[in-house]
Amino acid sequence: MELFGMPSQVLFGQLLLGLINGSFYAVLSLGLAVIFGLLHVINFAHGALYMLGAFAAWMALEYLGIGYWWSLALAPLAVGLGAAVFERAMLRRLYQSDALYGLLLTYGLALVLEGTFRNLYGVSGLPYDVPEALQGGVDVGFMFLPLYRAWVVVAAAAVCIATWLLVEKTRLGATLRAATERAEVVQALGVNVPLLVTATYAAGAALAAFAGVLAAPLTQVNPLMGSHLIVVVFAVVVIGGMGSIGGSIVTGLALGVVEGLTKAFWPEASAVVVFVVMAVVLVFRPAGLFGKVH
Amino acid sequence: MKHTTLAAACLLATASLAQAQISDGVVKLGVLTDMSGAYSDPAGQGTVVATRMAVEDFIAAEKPAFKVEMVSADHQNKPDIASAKAREWIERENVDALTELVTTSVALNVMKLAKEKNRIALISGAASTRVTNEDCNDVTVHWTYDTYALANGTASAVVKAGGKKWFFLTADYAFGHSLEQDASNVVKASGGTVVGAARHPFPGSDFSSFLLRAQASGADVIGLANAGADSINSVKQAAEFGIQKKQSLAGLLLNLTDVHALGLRNAQGMYLTEGFYWDMNDKTRDWSRRFFAQHKRMPTMIQAGQYSAVMHYLRAVKATGTDDTAKVMAQMKKTPVNDFFATNGKIREDGRMVHDMYLMKVKAPDQSKTPWDYYEVVQTIPAAQAFQPLSASRCPLVARK
């Protein structure tokens, strides 16, 4: 059977792969959106934190013998803690200044982290194996689906939904949203806003690290893995609307699919299609698809 | 500068003549390489180490009357940065030879500048055959390998082993296209067919979509016309999708550091072509162990070739007693290259240093006895067959004859 001049087999395969890549975009842009929402910081270190998550998993296995499943919890925790220290020690001092300073500081952090790991481990990357339980794959009719990729979609979706529920449906989330709107009022009502800010930055960083651990068995663990991805993720956030939680999840998945289809029909354009979408969206909806105009 | 030194030389005793003919008394090498990007493992700092070893060995063995110095810089794979640095080195620091120059676009820019400024360019890392064809000149030597030699070695061997139908996974820029083109020609000439190609953005990280197309194409062999991290991830993800069960992969430019990064479990059974491997004989092992002591990694062919090129150049300077570009080039072309890297290597008029190449097969994990024990030498491809024949050259220097 053929659809749009392409065997339906190939088409479904590309759709599914797009969804898998979209899962990464969703988790990463979710973290960015959470951070931007409360801190109004454009976190350029997000790609480096993603890389750090993957490296944390690799190091845990290499030096401590800690396997994938533990890393999935421990790496985000470690990266989140590090991010909390960074927020307290440095980022905090810049909230009163122009947003550009926060961007520059996080960009600087990204360069330092990537440079350090490049010096220590080179750029060819380090191998990280798919965990025993998820090796192999299943024939789903139109393609051979590696079990691990199926797991990536499930894990990413679970984390996205949990984050969304936390922010939209819980008391903590309500406080967070209130602080986003009027921080000084929330503080006056007795909420420790600085702590909330630190926790939010740490949580955003942990999300990036979680995506990094998910990615480690798929690509090499490479100091540059984050910088390749971060530009696309920023485009996703802009399309979804800066700071919109639900928006970033939906946009992340949708753009993964759009990219996947482009790879099927016109591979050469797959690197730019996200940016074309971004340009078009910005022309018609400057605040993004799900963003609110301030 | 040169004239005043020469004039001064005339007044001096003959004993110091050789020294005086070296402009400013110093032979200076400029190593321009990728220190931080995609090629910094196979080239990068390792080529600086190799150059330093060559300089030290040369001084220890030959006790020259002139001083040898070197400078190095990161060109970031950007031709404009490379040209600006090279120009500064030539004009301010009086650098005599520009070396390494990984990344084709960098090499093409710098060799053009070398011609303009009458300096020598010794290329080890860059791959494209354009260096010795359309863009050739008489001050450049292309030392270690090129896309023709790689395609020729790997593709013809794989077709002979039964891989007739090919699909290419190609990095979408000049180098990838050149490699795909050269490999397609070899496949067709050896009686195979090319059923398609997918061009992926450079650099990429997810190749699953392209691999799926390759899988659906019904090809026997998927030729990887990419390099570095792109090749590594392609191989790794192909294993994930179970592609190697029905199709085989051919890495058209895989370096030792890439195989190291992949691990033998992922890379085993692949064919690849190399200009050098550390574990071939006592000479290669001796040199490589000395290199390892300094760099903590075994050398790639680019790094070994860099040493060989620099040493050959310095010996030519000593033999002629001058750093004059034309005289040194003539001496280098006249003298065969015999060292741990090449046996009876020869620099042709198009600037190609021709030497034996080696078809390798990556060992299975249980065949590997020691660290970095990765290849089995399947076949030595003699110099005369390894590289593009002069009769097919598009280099004006050759055509004029």
Q: Is the pLDDT of residue A141 over 90?
A: no
Provide mean pLDDT across the span A27-39.
91
Mean pLDDT of A23-35: 93
Please report the domains of chain A, with CATH numbers, ordered by start residue: 2-122+132-284 (1.10.3470)
Report the candidate in B70, B56, B132, B138 with the shortest Cα–Cα distance to residue B99: B70
Lowest mean pLDDT among A112-116, A124-128, A149-153, B2-6: B2-6
pLDDT for res A294: 56
Which pLDDT value is given to residue A99? 86
Q: Show the domains of chain B with their CATH numbers.
A: 2-10+19-145+281-347 (3.40.50.2300), 149-274+357-380 (3.40.50.2300)
Give the Cβ contact number of residue A279 at 10 Å: 13
What pLDDT, on a 0 to 100 scale, did the predictor assign at position B347? 97
To test the contact with chain B by mutation, choose from A20, A61, A113, A124 the residue with the greatest count of B C-beta atoms within 10 A, namely: A124
Higher-pLDDT residue of A267 and A46 is A46
The pLDDT score that the predictor gives to residue B6 is: 46
Amino acid at A183: A
Distance from CA of A33 to the nearest CA of B (A): 24
**Sequence-separated (6 or more) residues with CB below 8 Å from residue B355:** B275, B337, B341, B342, B343, B344, B345, B346, B383, B386
Q: Which residues of B touch A (CB under 8 A)?
A: 36-38, 40-41, 172, 198-201, 203, 205-206, 208-210, 212-213, 215-216, 228-229, 232-233, 236-237, 240-242, 257-258, 260-263, 266
What are B298's two structure tokens? Answer: 């075994």
Contact flag A124-B257 (C-beta cutoff 8 Å):
yes
Q: Residue A130: how many CB atoms within 10 A of its CB?
A: 20
Pairwise CA distance, residues B379 & B160, whole Å:
13
Q: Which pLDDT score is estimated for A197?
A: 94
**Predicted ipTM?**
0.83
Q: How do strand B271-274 and strand B357-362 relate by DSSP bridges?
A: antiparallel
Tell me which residue of B283, B228, B234 sits closest to B260, measured CA to CA: B228
Return the sign of the alpha-carbon dihedral for residues A50, A54, A55, A57.
Answer: positive
Confidence of residue A4 (pLDDT cuts 50, 70, 90): low
pLDDT of residue B10: 43
Among B205, B210, B233, most A C-beta atoms within 10 A, so best to mutate, is B205
* The pLDDT of residue A11: 82
Is the pTM above the cut of 0.80? yes
A270 and B260 within 8 Å at the Cβ level: the answer is no
Whole-angstrom distance, CA of residue B139 vs CA of residue B157: 34
Given a contact cutoff of 8 angstroms between Cβ atoms, the answer to whether B378 and B359 are in contact is yes
Closest CA to A232 of A206, A262, A188: A262
> Could you identify the residue written with the tokens 């929330």?
A186
d(CA A30, CA A14) in angstroms, rounded, equals 24
Going from the first residue of chain B to its last (401 residues), give the mean pLDDT of each consecutive group of 10, the final group possibly shorter.
Answer: 48 42 90 90 95 97 95 93 96 96 93 97 94 95 96 92 94 88 94 94 86 90 92 91 89 93 89 95 97 96 98 97 95 97 96 96 94 94 93 86 51
